[in-house]
């Protein structure tokens, strides 16, 4: 995991990063040392130019900057020197022992507007100090990244909570930003995409079921099993010591499409029996008795097909196993619940439709109720 802190002041960013680094190192879910991109400052010579005095003396800022860059950093190929048949490039630079010498740099001479030589210490203050050895930028701002290695069995959610609390304690002022970068950022974006996909899939499932059953409430009865599948999937991951990742998220998607088939089989047969004149309670019992065998057969077949993936070995087996565990655990635990939940929800919603159609005979409710049942129960 990689977390970035950006802002205008590099010292404050380094302080925030050190605080976060210490907090993460105390957590048992972090393995090894927490790395930071911040490099300890190195000694350097600070030159602060008195712009007003330099202007009065006719010395430009560009001239001072260019001379310092040449004397300290060096200039490429000032001229050439020929000796015999050999041609040599001439470069200018101060000697190594003078590059960090305050007196040597202060004695650099510049020509004033009047044509007189003036020392650098006349128009600037030269002193020793410390400065950053490296400056990283994110979004045109100075930034420091903190890298964390997760321990075996640890999830990103555990580390995210620590990071959010640590950054909240520091009360970062406006102008500073922080967040995950790299693979961590992509993972967070993937999670947001999963949430959007779940919402869209639920809407599409409702629309398709509503068109097939020609009812507004029967799709809700069928989709009541979907909220139950998610906690059962998480319980199966917890029992098998798996984590929630991209593959287990795909398993939840598949589970959503598989779990609702049980309720579809039940409600479809209930409606057929009631259309033939059977009372509601008897139709519910008969439909559950008749559909129990195919529901049980499909569940056993699905679980048996997923067992090799859940128990497989070799490269990539752990990632595939999380998807299989979600489907096996969610489908197995949802089997008993949906066999009880669907008939109860069917009767409750049917009573609600009948009651609303009686006190508020709206065309939509009356039509929906008439399509749901052939005649009300005695």
pLDDT given for residue 363 in this prediction = 54
Q: Which residue has the higher pLDDT, 14 or 243?
A: 14
Q: What are phi and psi of 316, to 5 degrees?
A: 80, 5
Structure tokens at 314: 């070799």
**pLDDT of amino acid 375:** 45
- Out of 3.10.129.10, 3.30.530.80, 1.20.1640.10, 3.40.50.300, which CATH number does the structure's domain 185-372 have? 1.20.1640.10
Q: Which CATH number fits domain 42-131: 1.10.10.10, 3.60.20.30, 3.30.2090.10, 3.30.70.120?
A: 3.30.2090.10
182: enclosing H helix or E strand: none
Convert the pLDDT of each residue in 69-81 to its tens digit.
888 777 666 678 8
End-to-end CA distance of the chain: 64
Residue spans of the domains in the chain: they are 1-38+133-181, 42-131, 185-372
Residue 350's contacts (CB-CB under 8 Å, 6 or more residues apart) are 280, 372, 373
Instruction: Reply yes or no on whether the pLDDT at 377 is more than 50.
Output: no
CA dist list (Å): 274 to 134, 371, 378: 77, 10, 13
Average pLDDT, integer, range 29-55: 82
Confidence of residue 378 (pLDDT cuts 50, 70, 90): very low
Residues 316-333: tens digit of each pLDDT: 677 778 888 888 888 887
User: How many percent of the chain have pLDDT more than 70?
Assistant: 91
Look at residue 362 and tell me whether its pLDDT is greater than 60: no
C-alpha pair distances (Å), 331 with each of 101, 240, 253, 305 = 75, 15, 12, 12
Give me the mean pLDDT over the 265-285 stretch.
87
Q: Give how far Cα 247 sits from Cα of 181, 321, 324, Å.
A: 21, 9, 9
Q: Answer yes or no: CATH 3.30.70.1320 is held by domain 1-38+133-181.
A: yes
Alpha helices per DSSP H over 5-75: 10-25, 51-56, 61-68
pLDDT (0 to 100) of residue 367: 53
Task: Report pLDDT for 361.
Answer: 55
Max avg pLDDT among 204-218, 233-247, 349-363: 204-218
Q: Note the pLDDT tens digit of each residue in 285-299.
A: 888 888 888 888 888
Distance CA 194, CA 250 (A): 9
Distance CA 257, CA 54 (A): 76
Same CATH topology for 42-131 and 185-372: the answer is no
Question: Which residues lie across from 231 on neighbouring strands?
Answer: none
Q: Is-contact 247 337, C-beta < 8 A? A: no
pLDDT band at 23 (very low <50, low <70, confident <90, very high): confident
Compute the average pLDDT of residues 22-28: 80
pLDDT score for 135: 80
pLDDT in tens, 115-134: 888 888 888 888 888 877 77
Q: What is the pLDDT of residue 376?
A: 43
């Amino acid at each position: 995991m990689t977390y970035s802190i950006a802002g205008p002041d590099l010292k404050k960013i380094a302080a925030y990063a050190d605080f976060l680094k210490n907090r993460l190192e105390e957590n048992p879910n972090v393995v090894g040392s927490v790395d930071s991109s911040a490099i300890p400052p190195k000694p350097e010579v600070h030159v602060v130019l008195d712009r007003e005095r330099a202007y009065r003396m006719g010395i430009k800022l560009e001239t001072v900057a260019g001379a310092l860059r040449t004397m300290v950093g060096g200039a490429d190929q000032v001229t050439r020197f020929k000796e015999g048949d050999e041609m040599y490039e001439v470069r200018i630079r101060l000697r190594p022992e003078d590059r960090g010498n305050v007196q040597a740099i202060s004695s650099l001479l510049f020509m004033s507007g009047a044509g007189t030589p003036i020392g650098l210490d006349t128009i600037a203050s030269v002193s020793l100090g410390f400065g950053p050895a490296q400056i990283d930028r994110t979004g045109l701002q100075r930034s420091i990244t903190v890298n964390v290695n997760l321990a075996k069995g640890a999830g990103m959610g555990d580390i995210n909570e620590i990071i959010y609390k640590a950054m909240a304690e520091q009360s970062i002022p406006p102008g500073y930003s922080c967040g995950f970068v790299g693979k961590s950022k992509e993972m967070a974006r993937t999670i947001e995409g999963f949430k959007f996909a779940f919402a869209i899939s639920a809407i599409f499932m409702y629309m398709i079921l509503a068109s097939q059953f020609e009812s507004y409430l029967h799709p809700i009865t069928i989709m009541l099993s979907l909220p139950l599948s998610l906690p059962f999937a998480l319980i199966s991951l917890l029992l098998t010591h798996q984590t929630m990742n991209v593959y287990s998220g795909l398993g939840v998607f598949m589970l959503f499409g598989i779990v609702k088939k049980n309720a579809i089989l039940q409600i479809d047969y209930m409606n057929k029996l009631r259309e033939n004149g059977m009372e509601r309670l008897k139709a519910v019992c008969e439909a559950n008795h008749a559909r129990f065998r195919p529901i049980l057969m499909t569940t056993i077949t699905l679980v048996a097909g997923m067992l090799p993936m859940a128990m497989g070995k070799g490269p990539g087996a752990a990632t595939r196993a999380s998807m299989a565990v979600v489907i096996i655990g969610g489908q197995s635990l949802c089997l008993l619940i949906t066999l009880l939940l669907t008939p109860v929800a069917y009767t409750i919603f049917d009573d609600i439709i009948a009651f609303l159609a009686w006190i508020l005979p709206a065309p939509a409710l009356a039509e929906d109720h008439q399509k749901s049942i052939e005649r009300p129960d005695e």
